[in-house]
Structure 1
């Protein structure tokens, strides 16, 4: 057991017993679990890959982030400040993307 533990920690990229060393990754994992995976039944590996791809796209192009002043990390190039607000359901309604119709 001790040999396996030493082997694992030697390959790890973050320091052993350092809970804040990889805070960004830990926060992303928490977000994807709370907002997406805890609300779905994952059927197989292909389904999991699809769900994670959809969530990643939503996370980077539609979801506002508190750490950057409620801005979107990679917003659409064309954003209108007028027009009707519409909702697009993603992953069967688990996620909602709001946008202005042109």
Structure 2
């Protein structure tokens, strides 16, 4: 269990909090939830995010569109139809 906690902390720190100035606990929780649950693919979920609809089958990208997150500090790339 300790290894899982350490891995989460290292991942959250490297991908999210090292790039931000956190104002308070609410700000941290919102940003972590947005990035970790909606934007970050997980290997255990076959590189899908927890917020993805499991009924949708991903297809190869015809075009890729960039979305700025957190005021442009992080960029996400999504397939467009």
Q: How many matched pairs?
A: 77
* Mapped pair 1:42 → 2:19: no
SS at match of 2:8: helix
TM-score by length of 2: 0.70
RMSD over aligned Cα atoms: 2.4
Contact 2:64 2:77 in 1 (8 A): yes
TM-score by length of 1: 0.58
Q: Which stretches of structure 1, 4 residues or more, deviate above 6 A after TM superposition?
A: none
Write 1 or 2 for the structure with the bigger share of strand: 2
Q: CA deviation at 1:73?
A: 5.0
Partner in structure 1 of residue 71 of structure 2: 92
The answer for unaligned runs of 5 or more in structure 1 is 1-20
Write 1 or 2 for the structure with the bigger share of helix: 1
The answer for unaligned runs of 5 or more in structure 2 is none
